[in-house]
Chain A
Amino acid sequence: MGERLVVVGGGMAAVRLVEGLVGSPWHVTVLSEEDHPPYNRILLSAVLEGAHAPDALTLRSQEWFDEHGVDLRLGTRVEEVDRTAHEVVLVGGARVPYDRLVLATGAIPTLPPIRGLVRPDGTLHPSVHPFRSLADCRRLDAAVAAGRRAVVVGGGLLGLQVARALAVRGVDTEVVEGAEHLLASQVDPAGGEILARDLRRLGTEVYAGARAVRLHPRETGGAGLRLDNGHVLETDLVVLTAGGRPSTALARRAGLMVRRGVVVDSTLASVTDARIHAIGDCASHRGRVTGFVPPAWEQAGVLAAVLRGEEASYDGSRSVARLRATGLDVAVLGEPTRATGQVVEMSNPVTGSHRRLVVDGGRIVAAALVGDLSRVGLITQLYDRGTILGNAEPGALLAPERVDLDPAAVVLPDEAEVCACAGVTAGAVRACASYDDCRERTRATTGCGGCVSVVRSLLTASA
């Protein structure tokens, strides 16, 4: 060992991999296109909202990489992978040799087919903001001001998070979603409808089943976004959150097998070249590209173990997607719109909740929880651990939790224990002549003191 490991990409998967290799003999080089050391990308909408300090995003600082002997090169773009020479070629021609190469290139935002989005010179219209990187976030943040208008193109998890963040910032926000309802790949129409209603209640208009087709620049600096249903939304900002695609250009040019992502086996190695691995959003394992952080971290953990020479293999991930948006409650476990099994559903449009569990062989194999996350902690545990439930349990999980009665309103039977410290029943208290008599004879109230008011009221009532 003591060989050279080169990681292309400085995102969340890459940093987790490097953490897993601390103390191993690998000489690690990380080549990151971004100018900022690895940061927590999924908190960008919280930064936009103002709920998360931007300087608290950094996962590992430059000093950390230095201390651990990792060569982190920021602002470094890789042009080619030379699989024959075992080198990566940087823009500008410099070459970095590797014994093993890890592609952690992530995903790049998709530009929706909207005419006018890209200007003739190839740059984006100044009102248009992709939302993927810290740089995107900073640029949008600088453009945000209360009273301005924004249209978020894309009603998926990211789109809703950004829409809520902008609305919280006082921006007059609208959402355009091409599918028939919001979060179409995660929740069913009823769930999407509840979300749309919640958003409208929070002041954000939703246009579902509508595609943005054209951007008209306005003399005033804003733009008009024309939808395929004929509406034109006048706006100052257009935020693109309509998904991304795995960044695989480098792998394709290097001749690696690529489907949607770089095709990898259970050791996260390319099926074409065992010296090259891929993890995170750019990797395709058993036909799946995940797009979420937890599976990317699981892959990074497995790959770190593999590179340390341990037995480890990646067997796919259970995904839990959580909407992080103030005022909207959504959790999606697995793929509730596709998973097969028995569906247990509880919908209450009056209170705005819609929850669906997909149960197979007693196990929760998928779930969508909208508007009521009171049991999300337990349901997630049962899903993650593959717990086999009893027949009544899925229904019970969706039933309302018991409401405690006001103890003061309950008439205590004589045998009810009112003082746990001294083990005194209501009957024993009632038999006493006075509070002091009760303290002396039963020792009630002389321990933790929690029963003082109950004892007093029992004595008053029996007096």
Chain B
Amino acid sequence: MTAASTSTTTTHCPYCSLQCGMRLTGQRLPTVSAWEEFPVNQGALCRKGWTAAGLYGGRERLTSPLVRDRRTGEWTAVGWDEALDLVASRLREIQAARGKDAVAVFGGGGLTNEKAYSLGKFARVALGTSQIDYNGRWCMSSAASAGIRAFGVDRGLPFPLADVEETEVLVLVGSNLAETMPPAARHLDALRQRGGRVVVIDPRRTATALRADLVVQPVPGTDLALALGVLHLLVAAGAVDEDYLAARTTGWAQVRESVAAWWPERVERVTGVPAEEVRALAGLLGAPKVMVLTARGAEQHSTGTDTVLAWINVTLALGMVGVRGAGYGCLTGQGNGQGGREHGQKADQLPGYRRIDDPAARAHVAGVWGIDPDSLPGPGRSAYEMLDALGTPEGSSALLVLGSNIVVSAPRSTHVTERLEALDLLVVCDLVMSETAAIADVVLPVTQWAEETGTMTNLEGRVVLRQQAVRAPAGVRSDLEVIAALAERLGSPVEFATDPEEVFAELGRASSGGSADYSEITYDRIRDEGGVFWGGERLFAETFAHPDGRARMVAVEHRGAAEQPCADYPVHLTTGRVLAQYQSGAQTRRVRELPDSGAFVEVHPMLAARLGLVDGEPARVTTRRGSMAAPARVVDSIRADTVFVPFHWVGANRLTHDALDPSSRMPEFKVCAARVTAAGGGHG
């Protein structure tokens, strides 16, 4: 489908999980304008959205496959056939020598549903490898695993985002949505205008906190203890909904008992939040409608799943889940964070959010794919574990990367980069020469957002259609075409479709009957209805997705961060995002209109004075895993025992910890122990 040069096409922003609707006009220099009818953002966009077309046709755009000579490091442009033949033959050699699992696949939460689905099928059918996972593992996997345990299903928000405006008290745990998804902040203002209250829980007093009635700043890694303390006070005050608990949940008795030991002064000592603030927070939650939303601040921990479960327990105890304008939700991060985790690019999953170790699921999906269920591999390693094993005798020796910039976004990234460099073959599909592409053996140039059609599932579980609005530059192919061409060369027993709508229809059949069932959704319906929610607009009003229809309450305990400050590394380090950049910055740092300020080290004036740091002067942050330098930004909005570094630039993730959550396998991005010094000149 090709748009005429002056026509206008409705599509969606290339970045975050809000998937704001927008209009694109023109071909050579497309312009963005508001699409006011689209319900999620009603025409609002942040500057990332307004400038999204800035990446189109830029000079840094890759338009030819590139092959790197390992000896000289020199890149050579080659034709597509040559590149694909080379990749396919190397993959076959490696698998012949070391087995199917010698080839691994790494996907992304920004890929369309069609791509995520095809990639999972490609790994299992064309490559026959179990080794596939994706960067969404590092995004919302903790909320996903908690949601499945508690509710039997994982849909980030089980209701439309606009329901936020209908609650009485909104609690944001570890979300800075005013900067990470600015149009969503309009709902906070609307809520407060109605007399509702907003609580923000974050070690930093962020732009979101400026819209809050209560700001609670816990020590990073202690949100779980705070939740236990809140539930303790709710029980003490008799504020829990015993009728709801009896009718709709299991496990309450154990949970109730488990919070008896979390009185406010104990919570204060663990979290660094004054007991009076814990009481104030619990006091607010006596309101008739309470909504708790978690995001990466709460989830990206080695205790992330339990932290989410603890907050889910609060909402269940209050009887809020399934009540309109109340309940629990996760604010998903990546553009297709939700859909990306539903259709089989996760190590343990098949399409429709099915488990790959479930015989019935294998039989169903194999039937749709036209293969023998026994030929499907079993579960593979999680994202970090897969990367950590690369180039070792146990791990894979070839890696195919789509939609991810691992060198910037992996935790303990110096180590991970070493693992990538130890591979026999690294193939990266990308639009630009990202930091990961730069160390690849073969780079395949692919289409971006407005140059292709596909569906995304936003943070509400609303499936939206990103329509092609402009022609792709000559020389690039879509990921679907790359996958199909490689599958053919690898002698795949089945063909791979390259038309997105055809792939989507197949995805629908494969997901049919699964917990994320897309079989009733079509492109036409999406166009007609402003997006379509899978599973319905609102979940849990009547029942939960467990066989007994009840939500499961799971008693969880505070364990704390894997790495605690000590004499050598005395401060907490936390990481996050800034408004003008997105994820590894591979796209946004190349958009001229977006300020590329570079990384910085946010530090409280008291700590700055102790360490001799001056605002704007370089500071060096060192952890047991690496070191980086960036200008200090001295602000009193951060805890005085904590520093913050944004992760869009190479550096922050050299510092982060690779301790994993036992259930979600989420790395501990959000806290570790660090030493900060004045870097002076010449060391930056």
Contact = CB atoms under 8 A, between A and B. Distances in A.
A and B interact: yes
A249 to B, nearest CB: 28
Contacts of A443: 45, 47, 50
Nearest to A381: B272
B579 A420 contact: yes
Contacts of A397: 606
A70 interface: no
Contact of B570 (A294, A387, A393, A422): A387
Contacts of A56: 235-236, 256, 260
B178 interface: yes
A443 B175 CA distance: 24
B44 interface: yes
Contacts of A376: 268, 274-275
Interface core residue of B237, B263, B565, B595 (most chain A CB under 10 Å)? B263
A390 to B, nearest CB: 3
Given A64-B257, A380-B269, A448-B178, A387 B44 contact: no
A385 interface: yes
Contacts of B268: 322, 376-377, 380
A40 B237 contact: no
A57 interface: yes
A386 B564 CA distance: 12
A396 B274 contact: no
B59 to A, nearest CB: 23
Contacts of B260: 39-40, 56-59
A374 B274 contact: yes
Contacts of A43: 236, 263
Interface stretch (A45-53, A175-183, A352-360): A45-53
Contacts of A390: 606, 609-611
Interface in B16-58: 34, 43-47, 50
Interface stretch (B181-189, B421-429, B454-462, B492-500): B181-189
Contact of B186 (A46, A63, A381, A449): A449
Interface in A206-260: none
Interface string B602-632: 0000100111000000000000000000000
B624 to A, nearest CB: 17
B434 interface: no
Given A381-B272, A392-B609, A421-B47, A448 B261 contact: no
A421 B272 contact: no
B609 A393 contact: yes
B47 A46 contact: no
Contacts of B253: 61, 63
Contact of A393 (B46, B264, B610): B610
B314 interface: no
Given A448-B46, A448-B183, A320 B567 contact: no
A57 B259 CA distance: 10
A446 B271 CA distance: 37
B273 interface: yes
A385 B253 CA distance: 35
A59 B354 CA distance: 39
A39 to B, nearest CB: 8
B236 A59 contact: no
B219 interface: yes
Contacts of B275: 322, 324, 373, 376
A402 B636 contact: yes
Interface in A281-330: 294, 320, 322, 324, 329
Contact of B185 (A42, A57, A377, A449): A449
B182 A51 contact: no
Interface string B631-660: 000001001110000000000000000000
B563 interface: no
B45 A447 contact: yes
B236 A422 contact: no
B47 A447 contact: yes
B276 interface: yes
Contact of A420 (B43, B179, B236, B271): B179
A393 B265 contact: no
A441 to B, nearest CB: 12
A57 B236 CA distance: 8
A344 interface: no
B570 A447 contact: no
B595 A53 contact: no
Interface string A16-51: 000000000000000000000001101100100001
Interface residues of A, number: 51
A436 to B, nearest CB: 13
Interface string A422-463: 110000000000000000000100111110000000000000
B257 A384 contact: no
A448 B237 contact: no
Nearest to A43: B263
A381 B47 CA distance: 39
A329 B279 CA distance: 14
Interface in B227-242: 235-238
Given A51-B237, A60-B257, A378-B639, A448 B186 contact: yes
A385 B611 CA distance: 17
Interface string B165-187: 00000000000001100111110
Nearest to A64: B257
A450 B570 contact: no
Contact of B257 (A59, A381, A447, A449): A59
Interface core residue of A63, A329, A377, A423 (most chain B CB under 10 Å)? A377
A365 B601 CA distance: 29
A278 to B, nearest CB: 22
Contact of A377 (B46, B271, B579): B271
A382 interface: yes
A295 B113 CA distance: 53
Contacts of B257: 58-61, 64
A388 interface: yes
A420 B609 contact: no
A135 interface: no
A446 B43 contact: yes
A373 B272 CA distance: 12
Given A56-B260, A377-B271, A422 B46 contact: yes
B386 interface: no
A423 B264 CA distance: 41
A298 to B, nearest CB: 12
Contacts of B272: 377-378, 380-381
Given A40-B260, A396-B609, A423 B186 contact: no
Interface core residue of B210, B610, B611 (most chain A CB under 10 Å)? B610
B248 interface: no
Contacts of B185: 448-450
Contacts of A448: 44, 46, 178, 182-186
A389 interface: yes
B304 to A, nearest CB: 22
Contact of A385 (B210, B261, B565): B565
A10 B46 CA distance: 59
Given A380-B268, A447-B182, A386 B47 contact: no
Interface core residue of A59, A64, A450 (most chain B CB under 10 Å)? A450
22 contacts: A39-B260, A42-B263, A64-B257, A374-B274, A377-B271, A377-B272, A378-B639, A381-B641, A382-B641, A385-B565, A390-B609, A390-B611, A392-B610, A421-B579, A422-B47, A423-B47, A423-B580, A446-B50, A447-B44, A448-B44, A449-B44, A450-B211
Given A384-B269, A385-B641, A446-B50, 13 more contacts: A40-B261, A42-B263, A59-B257, A61-B257, A322-B268, A376-B274, A378-B272, A387-B570, A392-B610, A423-B595, A447-B182, A447-B183, A448-B185
Interface of B: 34, 43-47, 50, 178-179, 182-186, 189, 207, 210-211, 219, 235-238, 253-254, 256-257, 260-261, 263-266, 268-269, 271-276, 564-565, 567, 570, 579-580, 595, 606, 609-611, 636, 639-641
8 tightest CB-CB pairs across the interface, nearest first?
A390-B610, A448-B182, A448-B185, A377-B272, A322-B265, A52-B236, A447-B46, A447-B182
